Amino acid sequence: MKLRLDTALALGVLAAGLALSGCKSQAQKEVDEQAKAIDKSYEAEADIKEAVAAGAPNAVQAQAHNEAEQLRNQGEAIKDHLQSEAKELKKVPNK
């Protein structure tokens, strides 16, 4: 999770840098693409967690399902945050 949070923060800095350089629309596209990729990676990790627990006892499956849902929610939250930040780039005044 820490690595992904660092990635999200780095993308925010990248977007801000691109905005300052006058490439706002490109920055918005880049942040949006990265946000979707991060969300997909969380989805994939959640799917793997559930697949690994598929043959396990019900209690283990239930725990894996709950952990998978938490991962999906985290990925969605990061995606939403980054997309919100990308929208803020529109508000940056032109040079």
Domain ranges across the chain:
2-91
Do 68 and 90 touch, CB atoms closer than 8 A?
no
The confidence score (pLDDT) of residue 7 equals: 65
Indicate if the pLDDT at residue 5 is higher than 80.
Answer: no
Average pLDDT on 6-12 reads: 63
The confidence score (pLDDT) of residue 12 equals: 65
Average pLDDT on 18-45 reads: 84
The confidence score (pLDDT) of residue 69 equals: 98
Average pLDDT on 56-81 reads: 97
Indicate if the pLDDT at residue 18 is higher than 60.
Answer: no
Taking CA atoms, 9 is separated from 15, 49, 68, 91, in Å, by: 10, 26, 23, 19
